[in-house]
Amino acid sequence: MGMQRMDGMQRMDFETLVQTRKSVRGFTREPVSRAAIEDIIEVAKRAPSSMNTQPWHIHVLTGEPLEEVRRRNMEEMIAGAKPKRDIISHGEYQGVHRGRQVDIAKKLFAVMGIARDDKPMRQDWVLRGFRQFDAPVSLVLTYDRILDPGAVCHFDLGALCYGIVLAAWDRGLGSVINGQGIMRSDIVREVANIPEDEVIMTCVAMGYPDDSFPANAVRSDREPNGDFVRFVGFSD
């Protein structure tokens, strides 16, 4: 059974929260209050970090600053500008990872009615990503540059990020972790006035889900445990 929150809303039990959460790519126009974001961060910051270093920073954008990031990011990418991210890209996915990427793309395109050879619609979908799916809020996640090379703090930010999307879902807010939205990290840094001693890692587009948006019904699959889990030393 769910527990009651102090604000009177019903809280999901943990398993329900984890099993029902999904990426949301279509949002209503309802604004998200600063208080709601503060509440989410207050919970998410309990994420573990290496030796409790808490290397993270969160820059929350909405309104005109977010619109400027959207516009300039999209204009640059349409014009053929190369991505300019703070972190090193792995390049295109290959093998099994590419297969999983293609699988979720097929599901999304199917419900959105985007045919394989429909280049304008496929382009429109890509541009949605550059616009952070028109979400009313974007949380830009950074870490302290002094910690580069940042494999450990990447792990720490991943924990924080998962906490954010879970806490948001528990409060009726949808989100999608969106690297496309910061393909031009230099623009994000300029508009949000992010200090140079922070590395921009990713962003979380967030808002109230639009239930009429077809892609919001899509849930990605997970591999069976036997494909990626090994048990060593167990007798059963």
Domains for the chain: give ranges and CATH numbers: 22-88+132-213 (3.40.109.10)
- Supply the pLDDT for residue 87: 83
Spatial separation of the C-alpha atoms in residues 157 and 143, rounded to whole Å = 8
| Amino acid, single-letter form, for residue 66 | L
Whole-prediction pTM value? 0.91
User: What is the C-alpha separation between 95 and 98, in angstroms, rounded?
Assistant: 5
Closest among 171, 174, 163, 164 to 11, alpha carbons compared: 171
- Residues 180, 133 contacting (CB under 8 angstroms): no
Q: Which two tokens stand for residue 86?
A: 């703070």
Query: For the chain, where are the E strands, in sequence order?
Result: 3-4, 10-11, 56-62, 137-144, 174-177, 198-207
Contact 183, 77 (CB under 8 A): yes
At 159 the pLDDT is 97
Measured CA to CA, the distance from residue 131 to residue 192 in angstroms comes to 16
H-helix or E-strand spanning residue 174: strand 174-177
Between CA 41 and CA 166 the distance in angstroms is: 11
Indicate the SS3 state at residue 68. Answer: helix
Residue 73: CB atoms within 10 Å: 25
CA distance 114 to 217: 15
108 three-class SS: helix
Helix (H) or strand (E) holding 80: none
Using omega within 30 degrees of 0 as the cis cutoff, is the peptide bond preceding 149 cis?
yes
Contacts of 89 (CB under 8 A, 6+ apart): 83
Distances 225 to 78, 95, 145, 228, 230 between C-alpha atoms, Å: 41, 19, 36, 6, 9
Those residues of the chain that have pLDDT short of 70 are 1-9, 150
pLDDT at 6: 40
